[in-house]
């Protein structure tokens, strides 16, 4: 059993009083009503909870993909939502790898091209981008699928391409929404092990939304959302 990351101060990421309200057909939905949470460098944090409680919403705001209705997200003491959209996008590309719940791969491209894409956008030279993308695809067990168009891959294979794409630029923080959701147990364990290996090797900080209780169990801490607030289930 690994030593859990010691919760150090100050936190790497601080969520303070986060509120998110959606308006749908004139009805107001209060999804997050005041989330306070610290995330520490090098920890692995599981986010669990029933469907619709706001896990994806929380992850999107944490990853700066969506702005909160109120409250702050501070990364190393910087209030990230005070940045304009362009600076925020640059910040996000540098720091965060995101695995979406519905992976959002580019359908017309193959696995390798999908994984190379963030590297090319970050102006990594073509040959190096290809090398990095191949290496991470091998680690998720897709060595034999590099040139397959993603629409011809199984749901679980597509999910692993999405995990590889999130990790190709070696982000400081991995935010993953159900990364083992569509995976058979063996592939799920492979993704789980990869995340733990990168945590041990490179201190990758991970926040992982999961319904997979085995996955939640092996991470350092576990939280849930109740009435729009974060409750720590395990860990300090």
Ligand X SMILES: Nc1ncnc2c1ncn2[C@@H]1O[C@H](COP(=O)(O)OP(=O)(O)OP(=O)(O)O)[C@@H](O)[C@H]1O
| Interface with ligand X (CB under 6 A) | 22, 24, 29, 31, 51-57, 101
Q: Are 168 and 122 in contact (CB under 8 A)?
A: no
Closer to ligand X by Cβ: residue 53 or 111: 53
Query: Nearer to Mg ion by C-beta: 52 or 185?
Result: 52
Measured distance CA(62)–CA(218) in Å, rounded = 22
**Least distance to ligand X from the beta carbon of 113, Å?**
28
Least distance CB 59 / ligand X (angstroms): 8
- Which of residues 51 and 147 has its CB atom nearest to ligand X in the complex? 51
Cα–Cα distance, 5 to 40 (Å, whole number): 8
Name the minimum Å distance from CB 101 to Mg ion: 5
24 binds, among ligand X, Mg ion, none (CB under 5 to 8 A by kind): ligand X
Nearest approach, Cβ of 106 to Mg ion (angstroms)?
A: 21
Binding site for Mg ion (CB under 5 A): 56, 101
Q: 31 or 137: whose CB is closer to Mg ion?
A: 31
Region of 69 (left: φ > 0; alpha: ψ -120 to 50; beta: rest) is alpha
Cβ(92)–Cβ(83) under 8 Å? no
Which residue, 133 or 176, is less far from Mg ion as judged by CB?
Answer: 176
In the list ligand X, Mg ion, none, the entry touching 166 (Cβ below 5 to 8 angstroms by class) is none
Instruction: Provide, rounded to whole angstroms, the least separation between the CB of residue 233 and ligand X.
Output: 15
Residue 102's binding partner out of ligand X, Mg ion, none, with CB under 5 to 8 Å set by partner kind: none
How does DSSP classify residue 8?
-
In the block, residue with structure tokens 């999804």: 31
- Residue 90's closest CA among 117, 121, 67? 121
34 dihedral zone (left: phi>0; alpha: psi -120 to 50; beta): left
Residue 229: strand pairing partners:
226
Contact 225, 47 (CB under 8 A): yes
Residue 31 touches which member of ligand X, Mg ion, none, C-beta under 5-8 Å by kind: ligand X
């Amino acid at each position: 059993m690994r030593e859990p990351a010691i919760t150090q101060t100050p936190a790497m990421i601080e969520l303070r009083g986060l509120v998110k309200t959606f308006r749908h057909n004139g009805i107001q939905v209060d999804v997050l009503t005041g989330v306070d949470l610290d995330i520490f460098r090098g920890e692995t944090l599981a986010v669990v909870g029933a469907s619709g409680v706001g896990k994806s919403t929380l992850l999107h705001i944490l990853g700066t993909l969506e702005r909160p209705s109120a409250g702050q997200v501070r990364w190393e003491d910087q209030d990230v939502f005070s940045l304009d959209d362009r600076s925020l996008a640059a910040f996000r590309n540098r720091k965060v790898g995101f695995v979406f719940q519905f992976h959002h791969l580019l359908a017309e491209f193959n696995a390798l091209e999908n994984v190379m894409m963030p590297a090319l956008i970050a102006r990594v030279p073509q040959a190096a981008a290809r090398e990095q993308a191949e290496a991470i695809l091998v680690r998720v067990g897709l060595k034999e699928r590099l040139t397959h168009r993603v629409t011809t891959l199984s749901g679980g294979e597509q999910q692993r391409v999405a995990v590889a794409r999130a990790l190709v630029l070696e982000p400081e923080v991995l935010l993953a929404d159900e990364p083992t959701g569509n995976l058979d147990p063996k592939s799920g364990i492979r993704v789980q092990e990869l995340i733990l290996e990168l945590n041990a090797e490179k201190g990758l900080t991970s926040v992982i939304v999961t319904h997979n209780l085995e996955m939640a169990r092996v991470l350092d801490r576990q939280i849930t959302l109740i009435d729009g607030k974060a409750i720590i289930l395990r860990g300090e």
